Structure 1
């Protein structure tokens, strides 16, 4: 049997799609190419978005895939690379010049423990994954702080499920859309089960972090109603305290 539907549960060994000549398919987690087709490696829900196919499982260990956006933690550095923890089986490598506008004399100097937003550009089984903070077509330098990728300073790093991050990145979870109606903030979401948020006050950061975690088991309608109600209560309490 060949499974060609989306959002169906599959088992290891199930044949997923038959590849035709010229097909440009990006293989994600839980899927492997065998012969002229794709086969499931793990049990879970099959998803296909554009030319990317993957199986969503309850796994906690991240498996790097080319094209993924990730939040990593710097653990060490050499003369040419940073070693970055992305939550996988091994650390990833981030070239020290893989930042917009970076040169040998003018480049970021990241210390151990720094958080960085990057994308996976290489994920071979026989070597460490490689990351990059370069974005083709951008005109901003890392110095301006206006680039999409790079160091994530201050803020709060949230550890959550890989499925929550995937749903946020795919637009299935509207938590950031709803929160943006009431609270100004910045965010970065990694496919590796990490979310970074920064806002104007510590109270806002705590509120954002808690609501993001709670959003995983809620529908978007429930999420919208809860956030609206909670923000209204906080505003009322703040007004009462101020008047007193």
Structure 2
């Protein structure tokens, strides 16, 4: 198998096995959730106590997890084969809300409060909305892992923000988790690098590749207080200004997204 497209720029041919392992790791969570929900639905039906609302919630969770798994496969396939993204005009608010809907059961189970702080009026962005949703969902899952591991129940917080900035739209995912060591800030986007004990290191490198192929970029920012902020920048409609992914500290970050 020969890699083409963005992955070929930073993944050697010897890394194909690691890529397969990472993909399996990324898919494990939604597939496990689907299996658990299917078993719960079967036990619920066998109990002869029908609750239409509860069963509907179980089925909705299964649909959301299946959609997430499909997006992961689609995103990786597009990168590996060098397929062009489906560049269209789309609503940032809609894509953010779709990612939040997919992450909500996970957040509820972990006792995490997610604050949605989007500007009242946002211009439309340009890119592949499915790929951008996958980026936001991956960042949400990472933030959930960070706060669940680093904060006690009742003090697990995530902020999701979006605003227009000149010719771009900026989306920020901020958490109050344990953060990333300063020496590791420039490493976290490398393929197969992970600060998680069981992490495979595909998520953030995939996010970076997806953002760049959509004409945007992603930045990792250490909060001045606690935790991390990941900012995704996309061109707004009729604009295209691709830039590289970088890491920096929050001291040089616009005040609207600083830790407070």
Which TM-score band applies after superposition, normalised by the shorter structure? under 0.3
Structure ID, larger Rg:
1
Give TM-score, length-normalised by structure 1.
0.24
Flag the structure with higher strand content.
Answer: 1
Higher relative contact order (CA 8 A, sep 6+): 2
Higher fraction of helix: 2
Query: Scaled by the length of structure 2, what TM-score is found?
Result: 0.23
